[in-house]
Amino acid sequence: MSRRITIVVDDEVAAGLDLLVGKSVSSTVNAVLREAIASERHRAAVLQWMDELDAEFGPPSAAALARADADLDELGVPRPSASTESVA
């Protein structure tokens, strides 16, 4: 089943659709939104699991967080900026 909706996108997004569009704009938008929804559901599940771990074992210590930050820095993992983080 499908439902027709209307969306408005920025000019640069509309121009970039030519790079992504396979069969149709609708199928491309569906695929991109499915991926975004799956990613957000996964993120929410991980956050819920982390909350459960905190409830069972307590939150990580400042030393453990510092070690994790150092490990991520050593691996070159970028930190999300406040403007790109999703809201839980």
The confidence score (pLDDT) of residue 23 equals: 67
Domain membership of residue 87 (yes or no) is no
Number of domains comprising the chain = 1
Domain membership of residue 83 (yes or no) is no
Across the chain, mean pLDDT equals 88
The span from the CA of 28 to the CA of 25, in Å, is 5
Domain membership of residue 37 (yes or no) is yes
Domain membership of residue 64 (yes or no) is yes
Sequence-distant contacts of 4-12: CB under 8 A, at least 24 apart? none
Q: Which residue range forms the structural domain that includes residue 46?
A: 11-75
Give the pLDDT mean for 44-64: 97
Domain membership of residue 67 (yes or no) is yes
Give the pLDDT mean for 66-80: 94
Domain membership of residue 1 (yes or no) is no
pTM reported for the whole predicted model: 0.66
Domain membership of residue 54 (yes or no) is yes
Using 50, 70 and 90 to split pLDDT, how confident is the model at 20?
confident
